[in-house]
Amino acid sequence: MSEDIAKYGSPAIAAVFESNYRRTPRVEMTEMLQMLARRTFYARQWSLLMGGYPLFLSPFLPQPFYAPGRDLEGDQGLRQSIGQNHWSMLGNYLGLPAGSVPAGLSQHPEGPKPIGVQVLGRRWREDLVVGAMIAVEDRLGTLSRRLWAKMAVAQVSEPA
């Protein structure tokens, strides 16, 4: 993808990919085949686990959400943003359908941050993942509406 990113991507996304390329070592074919075999092993193990559970609910991040644009702030920013997405990477690595939905806001010294939950499903069961995400929003409400309401109140209360 590097050629397309260089040609069509913004300078910001090109910088993110360049930083990610630097932190990701190149692998040779033998090592790649070993890695694919390991992935197949883990995918099978996960499929056996999911045989007893139709869905798996996890946090989206194991820490408070990072600031917007954090992935653009060099290697440290990339490590904090992309490098902390353990649960998201798991779904991608195993080729599982997954979705993330905001579940609330937590208060931090630098301001409120979203709390997201991720729903992982069995292979080919995107319908169950989407249904679970809808159920979360039905139960907790749509976070974007609450955020927009807070923003409107903040704009009204700011001095002119």
46-50, 89-93, 139-143 — most confident range = 46-50
**pLDDT bucket at 130, cuts 50 / 70 / 90:** very high
Helix axes 74-81, 11-23, angle to 10 degrees: 80
Sheet holding 55-59, edge to edge: 55-59, 113-121, 98-106
Number of H helices, E strands in the chain: 7, 3
Q: Name the amino acid, one letter, at 123.
A: R
**pLDDT bucket at 61, cuts 50 / 70 / 90:** confident
Sequential DSSP letters for 106-141: E--TT--EEEEEEEEE-TT-HHHHHHHHHHHHHHH-
Is residue 121's pLDDT more than 60? Answer: yes
Q: What is residue 52's predicted lDDT score, i.e. its pLDDT?
A: 93
Is residue 3's pLDDT more than 70? Answer: yes
pLDDT tens-digit series, residues 76-92? 888 888 777 777 788 88
In order of start, what are the domains of the chain with their CATH numbers?
Answer: 2-157 (3.90.1300.10)
